[in-house]
Structure 1
Amino acid sequence: MQKNLHPTYQHVVFRDKAADYAFLTRSTRGSEKTVEWEDGLTYPVIDVDISSASHPFYTGNARVVDTAGRVERFQRRYQRK
């Protein structure tokens, strides 16, 4: 196996500030910022904009878009005369 080919695989905390939710996992991504986790150890932290705690699909706040109405409106607007 070649040396220095693979990135380092380490524990990282991903934090969703919108939902005030964080979870510890392993990743090849790192960060300069750190946070002290529940176990008392310090880990790099990566702030994310959206996670399963704040995504509309997972929280049940998803809306269905009426695509049929849009198609009918388009056809009415640009129908041949």
Structure 2
Amino acid sequence: MKQGIHPASYRYVVFKDMSNGTAFLSRSTAASKETIKWEDGNEYPLVKLEISSTSHPFFTGKNVLVDTAGRIDKFKKKYAKK
């Protein structure tokens, strides 16, 4: 691996998914002004996320299927007159 291209400021950070309240501890260089007390009793910087793997439809299996066949038929019907 190349030396000197990765940041040296890795630290433990808590990421919190604001849509479902799930939080997890990971190492990151993300900046944050807020802190949170974690399960181990230590205080860590808090980074708030709008969506994570615990709430994203792709990872949760709650995908919304798009009716592409119906959309294609509508397109063909609309432009068949011209």
Which interval holds the TM-score relative to the shorter structure? 0.7 to 0.9
What is the alpha-carbon distance in structure 1 between the residues aligned to residue 7 and residue 72 of structure 2? 49
Name stretches of at least 5 consecutive residues in structure 1 with no aligned partner.
Answer: none
Find the aligned partners of 2:33 and 2:8 in 1 and give their Cα distance. Answer: 16
- Aligned-residue sequence identity (percent) comes to 47
Structure 1: distance between partners of 2:41 and 2:76:
62
Structure 1: which 4+ aligned runs deviate by more than 4 Å?
none
Closer/same/farther in 2, CA of residues 52 and 6 from structure 1, 3 Å limit: closer
Q: How does 1:62-73 map to 2 (within 5 A)?
A: 62-73=63-74
Question: After the TM superposition, which residues 23-42 of structure 1 pair with which residues of structure 2 at under 5 Å, given as runs?
Answer: 23-42=24-43
The alignment status of 1:57 with 2:20, answered yes or no, reads no
**TM-score of the superposed pair, with normalisation by structure 2:** 0.84
Partner residue of 1:20?
21
Displacement after TM superposition at 1:61 (Å): 1.4
> Partners in 2 of 1:12 and 1:44 — Cα distance?
5
Gaps of 5+ in 2: none
Q: TM-score, normalised by structure 1?
A: 0.85
Figure out how many residues of one structure are paired with residues of the other and give that number: 79
Aligned-pair distance for 1:6?
A: 2.9
Q: How far has the Cα of 1:7 moved from its partner?
A: 5.0
RMSD: 1.8
